[in-house]
Chains A and B, each alone.
Chain A
Amino acid sequence: NAGVMQNPRHLVRRRGQEARLRCSPMKGHSHVYWYRQLPEEGLKFMVYLQKENIIDESGMPKERFSAEFPKEGPSILRIQQVVRGDSAAYFCASAIRTGAYEQYFGPGTRLTVT
């Protein structure tokens, strides 16, 4: 039973480019969370999605960031016109249902903006 998969593991983008981060939840999980970890900091919640719905995006920056979780395929976190401050590790976690005890984390995508 494969765990949460994220790709790419490392992504380098120049300022102004777009970054697309993908997350495939564990089999049977329909709830996905995205977190961002800036250097030397803890993880910060960004967005919570269920299939085809954004449930809570209170942690997402208002501009340039968007997320989706389509009926088929992985969840995508999209960052437009990246800036140096977007350099961070982005983690995806999945859960089988709302209120589930545990969120299972993927290995993260490390985004570097040059």
Chain B
Amino acid sequence: AQTVTQSQPEMSVQEAETVTLSCTYDTSESDYYLFWYKQPPSRQMILVIRQEAYKQQNATENRFSVNFQKAAKSFSLKISDSQLGDAAMYFCAYRSDQETSGSRLTFGEGTQLTVNP
């Protein structure tokens, strides 16, 4: 079974600075997808960024980018120019590409990000 680990329960960053959230995962599969979701106080789950395992290039979405290290099974999220609205719980998630897994997401325990003005 796949597992996802986020070793930082809490992180803080100054507004306009850069912060990196860590995520590691365990799998024996070669084809899969990795995601970062944001959960603000409203509790709505918002997709931040997606990475396909077969792509070597790291995904980027505006101020959000990932450092995907497939051999190390590491998938960190970098937030540049942090804004107050980035304050939220961030979840790393894994999804198998196998039909038998049914596309369910496996989530880490989350990292609570605080942005200080």
How does the 8 Å CB contact mask read for B41-56 relative to A, with 1 for contact and 0 for none? Answer: 0111111001000000
On whether the beta carbons of A91 and B45 are closer than 8 Å, the reply is yes
- For A42, list chain B residues within 8 Å (CB): 4, 91, 107-110
- Would you list the 7 A-B pairs with minimal beta carbon distance, nearest first? A105-B45, A42-B107, A56-B102, A45-B104, A43-B107, A48-B102, A42-B109
On whether the beta carbons of A98 and B99 are closer than 8 Å, the reply is yes
Given A42-B110, A101-B33, A95-B105 contact (CB < 8 Å): no
Can you show 27 pairs from A to B with CB atoms below 8 A apart? A31-B103, A33-B105, A42-B4, A42-B91, A42-B110, A44-B107, A45-B105, A45-B106, A48-B102, A48-B103, A56-B102, A56-B104, A59-B104, A91-B45, A93-B45, A93-B105, A95-B103, A98-B99, A98-B103, A99-B97, A99-B103, A100-B103, A103-B105, A105-B44, A105-B45, A107-B44, A108-B45
Q: How far is the CA of A75 from the CA of B86 in the complex (A)?
A: 32
- B102, B106, B109: residue with the most chain A Cβ atoms closer than 10 Å: B102
Contacts A59-B104, A99-B97 aside, 14 further interface pairs with beta carbons under 8 A come to A42-B108, A42-B110, A45-B104, A93-B45, A95-B103, A98-B99, A101-B33, A101-B50, A102-B47, A105-B37, A107-B42, A107-B43, A107-B44, A108-B43
On whether the beta carbons of B107 and A89 are closer than 8 Å, the reply is no
Place the interface of chain B in its size category. Answer: 20 to 34
Any B CB within 8 A of the CB of A55: yes
**Least distance between A68 CB and chain B CB atoms (Å):** 17
Any B CB within 8 A of the CB of A35: yes
> B interface vs A, CB < 8 Å?
4, 33, 37, 42-47, 50, 91, 97, 99, 101-110
Any B CB within 8 A of the CB of A63: no
On whether the beta carbons of A35 and B50 are closer than 8 Å, the reply is no
Q: How far is the CA of A48 from the CA of B95 in the complex (A)?
A: 13
Any B CB within 8 A of the CB of A72: no
Q: How far is the CA of A59 from the CA of B50 in the complex (A)?
A: 24
How does the 8 Å CB contact mask read for A100-114 relative to B, with 1 for contact and 0 for none? Answer: 111101011010000
